[in-house]
Each structure stands twice: as C-alpha cells, then as structure tokens.
Chain A
Amino acid sequence: MTTTNLPAAATREALGPTLVRLQQNGANIVVVDADLGKSTSARTFRDAFPERFFTFGVAEQNMISAAGGLATLGHTVIASTFAVFAEHAFDQLRMSVAQPKLNVKVVASHGGVSTGEDGASAQSVEDYALFSSLVNFTVCVPADVVEAEAMVAAAVATPGPWYIRTGRPKIPVIYTDGPRFQVGKADMLREGTDVTIVACGLLVERSLRAAEALEASGISARVLNMGTIRPLDVAALEAAAKDTGAIVVAEEHLTHSGLGAMCAQAIAATTQPVPMEFVGVQSRYGESATWDEVLEIMGLTADGVEAAARKVVARKR
C-alpha cells in the first residue's frame, strides 16, 4: 500500500448516508441528536426519515438516557454529537446504556485534537479511556471514511453498546479498494520484520508514510490498523511482539490512558514482552491552530512516528 495521491474525506461524513442506506435496506434505526446534526452528518438521516429522528437540544445527558429507553423497544439507537459532548453524559452512558447493555451506538464526530481552531475545550483527548472503561462497550476508531462506513454498518448489525469516534478534517482515503474492517481484528496494512507500528484513526495513514521512510533507511516496519480499541486484538499484538520484537503505538489521544496504555497492558501479560514507544498526546490539553498545526505541535505526524520507531528499534539492541 502506498500513500501517494490518495483522495481525501472526513470520517464524520460517513454517518448520515450510511444510516440512510441501512434504513432503506430494512434496519430499525432511530437517531437522537443534540443540536449538532449538520456537523455530524446525522441531518442527512433526518431529511430521509424525519419521524425516526429526535432532537434533544443541547442536552446530552437527557439524550443518552432517552436513547437507552428507546433501545428497550427494540430500536437500534444512534446517538450523535461531538466526542467532547458525549463525554458530558458519562454517568448516563454508564447507568442507562452500559450496565443494562442496551443497543445504543454513540457515533461522535470531531474527535481528537484535529478539531483545530476551536481549541482545548473542543478537543477530545480522553474519549478512548472513558468509553473503554465502560464494560460492555465496543470502541472503534476509523482510519478513513470507507472504514467509518463499515464500522457504522457493523455497529448497526451487532447488538450492544458501541462508541465510534470520527473526525472533522478531510484525511486521505486508505481503503480505496473497499473496507476490510472486522470488529476486534487488527488489519495488517504492511508486513514488516523490525518493528510494528500499531495505529488508529488518522495516525494510520501517517504511520504508513513513516513505514515508507523507514524502509528507505533499511528498517522494515509492520503497520497494524487497530480499528477496534476494545476488545483489543491481543493475538495480533502477540504476533507483532514475537515477529518484530518492538512496538510503537500511535494515536490521537492521551498516551497514558488510550490505545497505547491498553496495548502495553496486553503486551506485558504475554510471555515475550518487548520494548514499546508511544506517540500521542503527552499529558496536556490542546490549543487553537489549524488542525494540521495542532497535530504538528503534538508530534502526531509521520515524522513523529518514524522517530519513535527508530528509538524503539535502537532499544532492541
């Protein structure tokens, strides 16, 4: 897989059109929204099925508990807002969705720091941690718009609580030949023998670019797209440790509580732990700048991933 001349699209654009298609094909979807349907693309569903779309105003807590109630009637409920505002209803997610294991899918857009100009309050750096801490939740992050469509479809087809984090900026499409998403399975986008880069979200394409740069200097890097954060594909991680002897985890999230931390826990429990490095947000909040600039400030770039890979490979020796 090469990263030149890829088309671009925002993962948030997948939600509305995918839901319309699924509903037209016989799904039983209800969408609840908290006044952000234009930005999340949920309004596309409202335009096609207005009677199946409920706005709750800017009141996420009420929206999430009501979503749980709606789900008890057998409806597949999609709760749509921004990632930071989904966090606003944490106890409702716990009591009204996770504990009773209800069929509510939180699809939250504008995740991570790549919301850019809106600054720290709008940048979710803790949502993987929060949603992964909710027992019974499946947590997914798409690497591109094609995978986002596949994740929404998989969520609708699978009973139980899900969280899918999508993003605001237009990012390169990786899966130009169609999605390969399977829940709970890492997708190996590139084989390699010296180091494995485990990534999710927009860091996947950046990790592929890092792997190309590493190859030019003789380091063979495997790239795993860990689209499902929970449940984690422990078998793929074990194989990565065994086959390549070093792991870098790259994510748009706090390193101490996100995918990296969860991978480290899994690796530490194997018979063959290996050195690891973590690319992510380092115990800080964001700031205003263009989305690309914020990623640069945080080191969430192909260069950042490449440097971490070189460091972890050096630690092997």
Chain B
Amino acid sequence: MVYGAQSGHIGGSMSSTEILAVLYGRIMRHDPKRPGWVERDRFIMSKGHCTPVQYATLAESGYFPVDELSTFRKKGTRLQGHSVLGKPEGVENSAGALGMGLSFGLGIRLGMRLSNIDAHVYVLMGDGEQDEGQVWEAAMAASHHRVDRLVAIIDRNGIQNDDFTAATMRTEPLDEKYRAFGWEVRAGIDGHNLEAVEEALAWARDVRGKPALVIFDTVKGKGVSFMENNPNFHGAAPSAEQFARAMEELA
C-alpha cells in the first residue's frame, strides 16, 4: 500500500500489526456485515497516520474488499492518508492531528453508558502521542467519571517523527503516570507475541470500575531488518529496491 502510494506511515503500522489483528480477530465484539450495529465494540485509531495497518485489518476482517487497498492515498479513493470517520465503514473516528482519540473514545463510552450499551471502546495511541496535553486531560476525565470498558492501548515503539521518543520528549514512566491518574495498567508486554497480546487485551477488557491501559513494547518497522528501529521509516515509503527486499524478508 505505502509502496504503491509512494507515501504513508509504515513504521508505526508494522509495530501495531499484531495488536490490531488480535483486537479484530479475538477480542472485539463486531460484525463486518453490520458496521452500524449499535452494540458493537468501537476501535478508535488515535494515531491516525497508521491507516495502512487499520485499512489492512478492516479489509482482512471483511469490511471491504482487499483489492481496494491498492487505492490507498490515490485519487478518488475512500482510503485517505489519515483516518476519516465512516470512510470506509468500520473507521470510527477522524484522526491525524494527534492526541484526540482518547477524548473521542471517552465521549463514546459516556454516550454508551447513557444509552445502556455495555460495549467496549479500544483506543490505540502512539508513545510519541503522549506528548499531547489533551491525552492527559482525557486520562484525568475518564478516571473522574469512573468510566470502564474504556481500554487505552499504547504502541510503545520508542520512535516518533523526527527521532527516538526519549530524545524528543521524555514521557516515561508512562505506567506510573497513568496509575497516578487512576487507571488500571499493564506494561512491558511484548506487542509482537500474539499470545501475550491477547492475554493482556483480554485482561483489560474485563477490568471494571476503572479505565484500563495496556502498554505494549513494540518494534517500529517490525519484520523488515532495515526498517526496524529506524526513525527514517516513520513517514517514508520504501524505494523499489527496498520494497523487493522487504517482501523477501516478510515472505
């Protein structure tokens, strides 16, 4: 997709791949045939630049034809570079500017509570995204309003746009900060181990009385040697040669 479009955010998509696969395959209550089903669990992509993994997961889950993935970022596509609510069905929020997804998910969960809907809201954020002050406003408010069935997920791949997160803005220790904000937290989970991902997300799904957070340790660009942990593959597309090598490594 990213190679075809010659633009897009591949690194943060590859670090989130297992997380989305487990959410849509094992954890979430959803039905691709009924994307408007009001009782469905919602997935909120707060790091809205990681549409490659979001669209691929939705297509593989049956929300739209896999063939359509080749239109990503191209003229006339429904698959814009960053998430747009309802395009295609299954995309639950508009994102791209960082830091808003947890607030949006909090609002959804409050609305569900008022409507007596017991579904869950899963919000995926990046670790670089934790720089945004709005994230902490939402963390505070979720706890204040005693919201549960709200599951925040941090894909802690350690890299943001310009550099490593530790060099850009020190946000650690994230686990202790969220605990201080009143959240149930599990951290240090291997985000590329399918069993570990499923175990942690199932735990978070069952937390009651508080919002829950899982922090996954991941590798940006996971699976392709020259992309792994390389800040140059945050928002850049691979060349023809790099694409061929990557496909060989992933085969």
Q: Which residues of A contact B (CB under 8 A)?
A: 30, 51-52, 54, 56-57, 59, 61-75, 91-92, 94-96, 99-100
Are A59 and B93 in touch, CB under 8 angstroms?
Answer: no
- Contact of B105 with A by CB under 8 A: yes
The bracket for how many chain B residues form the interface is: 20 to 34
Bound-complex Cα distance A165 to B145 (A): 28
A-B contact count (CB 8 A): 104
When the two chains form their complex, are residues A66 and B97 in contact, meaning their CB atoms are under 8 A apart? no
The answer to whether B232 has its CB under 8 Å from any CB of chain A is no
B108 touches A51 (CB 8 A): no
Complex contacts, B212 vs chain A, CB 8 Å: none
Q: Do B141 and A66 touch across chains, with their CB atoms under 8 A apart?
A: yes
Residues of chain B within 8 A (CB-CB) of A66 are: 103-104, 106-107, 110, 138, 141
B129-146 contacts to A, CB under 8 A, are 133-134, 137-138, 140-141, 144-145
Say whether B137 contacts A62, CB under 8 Å. Answer: yes
Sorted nearest first, the 10 A-B pairs with minimum C-beta distance are A69-B107, A73-B111, A65-B103, A66-B107, A62-B137, A100-B85, A69-B108, A59-B137, A69-B104, A70-B107
Interface string of B56-90 (1 = CB under 8 A from A): 00000000000000000000000000001110000
Complex interface: chain A residues within 8 A of B117 (CB) = 73
Partner of A54, one of B95, B108, B145: B145
In the assembled complex, 20 residue pairs joining A and B whose CB atoms fall closer than 8 Å, in A order, are A52-B114, A56-B137, A57-B137, A59-B134, A59-B140, A61-B100, A61-B134, A62-B134, A67-B107, A69-B111, A71-B111, A72-B107, A73-B112, A73-B117, A74-B115, A91-B97, A92-B100, A96-B100, A100-B84, A100-B93
Within 8 Å of chain A (Cβ to Cβ): is B4?
no
B161 to chain A, nearest CB (A): 17
Residues of B within 8 A of A51 (CB): 114
Whole-angstrom CA separation of A54 from B105 in the bound complex: 15
B111 and A56 form a contact (CB under 8 A): no
State in angstroms the CA–CA spacing of A304 and B97 once bound together.
43
Asked whether A100 lies within 8 Å of B114 as measured between CB atoms, the reply is: no
A240→B45 CA distance, assembly (Å): 49
A contacts with B: majority SS: helix
Which of A63, A72, A91, A95 has a CB less than 8 Å from the CB of B111? Answer: A72
Residues on B lying within 8 angstroms of A by beta carbon are 38, 84-86, 92-97, 99-100, 103-112, 114-115, 117, 133-134, 137-138, 140-141, 144-145
Bound Cα distance A303, B101 (Å): 50
Contact indicator B104/A96 (Cβ below 8 Å): yes
Q: Closest residue of chain A to B101, judged by CB?
A: A65
Shortest CB–CB separation between residue A117 and chain B, in angstroms? Answer: 29
Q: Are A30 and B100 in contact (CB under 8 A)?
A: no
Chain B residue at minimal CB-CB distance from A32 = B107
A69/B110 contact (C-beta < 8 A), A61-B134, A92-B134, A96-B100 known: yes
Residues of B near A96 (CB, < 8 A) are 93-94, 100, 103-104
CA distance A177 to B140 in the complex (A): 47
Q: Give the residues in chain A near B109, CB-CB below 8 Å.
A: 69
Residues of chain A within 8 A (CB-CB) of B105 are 69
A72 touches B110 (CB 8 A): no
Inter-chain contacts of A30 with B (CB < 8 A): 110-111, 114
Query: Across the interface, do B141 and A75 meet the contact criterion of CB distance under 8 Å?
Result: no
CA gap between A134 and B194 in the complex, in Å: 42
Chain B, Cβ-Cβ closest to A61: B134
State in angstroms the CA–CA spacing of A64 and B100 once bound together.
Answer: 9
Closest CB-CB distance, B190 to chain A, in whole Å?
30
Contact status B94-A99, CB under 8 Å:
yes
Tell whether, in the assembled complex, residue B107 and residue A68 are in contact, meaning their CB atoms are under 8 Å apart. Answer: yes
Give the CA-CA distance A74 to B100 in the complex, in Å. 20
- Smallest Cβ-Cβ distance to A56: which chain B residue: B141
The distance from the CB of A219 to the nearest CB of chain B, in whole angstroms, is 51
Q: Identify the interface centre among B96, B105, B138: most chain A CB within 10 Å of its CB.
A: B138
- When distances are taken between beta carbons in the complex, the residues of chain A under 8 Å from B133 are 61
In angstroms, Cα B113 to Cα A52, docked, is 11
Q: Is B84 within 8 A of A99, CB to CB?
A: yes
Q: Are B137 and A61 in contact (CB under 8 A)?
A: yes
Chain A residue nearest to B44 (CB atoms) is A69
Q: Give Cα distance in the complex from A62 to B114, angstroms.
A: 19
Asked if A75 and B100 make an inter-chain contact with CB atoms under 8 angstroms apart, the answer reads no
In angstroms, Cα B138 to Cα A56, docked, is: 9
User: Are A95 and B106 also in contact (CB < 8 A) when A73-B112, A100-B85 are?
Assistant: no
Q: How far is the CB of A139 from chain B (nearest CB, A)?
A: 21
